[in-house]
Amino acid sequence: MTRISQAALPRRFYARRADEVARELLGCVLLRRYRRSLLAGRIVETEAYVGEEDQACHARSGRTKRNAVMYGPPGHAYVYFIYGMYDMLNVVCQPAGKPEAVLLRALEPLDGVETMRRLRGVAGHPKRLADGPGKLCRALAVTRRQNGIDLLGEQLWIASGALAASESVQRSARIGVDYAGVDAARLLRFFIGGNEHVSRLPASRRRRPQR
């Protein structure tokens, strides 16, 4: 069992710009109550989606049935289904009416690793268990059933955490939003530099490891 505090971050943490929240979520711990077990992972990669003006954001065409939760109060889960197969977990930011959110893209598994493996249907190293937004949802049994739930509640919440002195925040363009024109280039993806649990980019986008 993890020894860090499991207290949920307060509502005001989320009631800010999504890019600030995305950066500060790095190192925090996502907790999931699932059938009597507690699953936990350290957040190592996020992306900010920053409102109707952001051409990569689901709110770019205004409020719809799918994105309605983003327009609601902060500190709630926005979970949507994509590619016919995967769910994506976001946390809603900003006060109600301002549709911003942070996509949780990768975790370093801390607790409940065996359950995560079972949910994912894979064996092997924990660094492959939740190193991508679709895998993260599978590993924590998060689906559209959780869309709209309060992150200050009982089944899914985030506790504070910190970066080690040796860790640094890195930024890049967001993944998979090439259609978004100039917004595709904005540096709204945040990750812990060098962390092994960060998602692997498609080879076509990968750069040579810097030395």
Partner DNA sequence: CTTGAGATGCCCT
Partner DNA sequence: GGGCATCTCAAGA
Binding site for DNA (CB under 7 A): 47, 49, 56-58, 61, 64-67, 81-86, 88, 90, 101, 103, 120, 122, 132-136, 174-177, 179, 199, 203-204, 206
| Distant-in-sequence, close-in-space partners of 125: CB < 8 Å, separation ≥ 6 | none
Q: Which is nearer to DNA, 66 or 145 (CB)?
A: 66
The nearer residue to DNA, 135 or 197, going by C-beta atoms, is 135
Distance from C-alpha of 103 to C-alpha of 114, rounded to nearest angstrom:
24
- Minimum CB distance to DNA, residue 167 (Å): 22
Nearer to DNA, 36 or 207 (CB): 207
Min separation Cβ 9 and DNA, Å? 19
Copy the structure tokens of residue 148. 């709209």
Minimum CB separation from DNA for residue 106, in Å?
8
163 touches 20 (CB < 8 A):
no
Between 5 and 178, name the residue whose CB sits nearer to DNA: 178
Q: Are 189 and 56 within 8 A, CB to CB?
A: no
Residue 63 φ/ψ, nearest 5 degrees? -75, 135
Q: How far is the CB of 81 from DNA (least distance, A)?
A: 5
Tokens found for residue 84: 């016919």
What does the block give as tokens for 124? 């092997």
Shortest separation between residue 162's beta carbon and DNA, angstroms: 24
Which residue's CB is nearer to DNA, number 2 or number 17?
17
Between CA 72 and CA 107 the distance in angstroms is 26
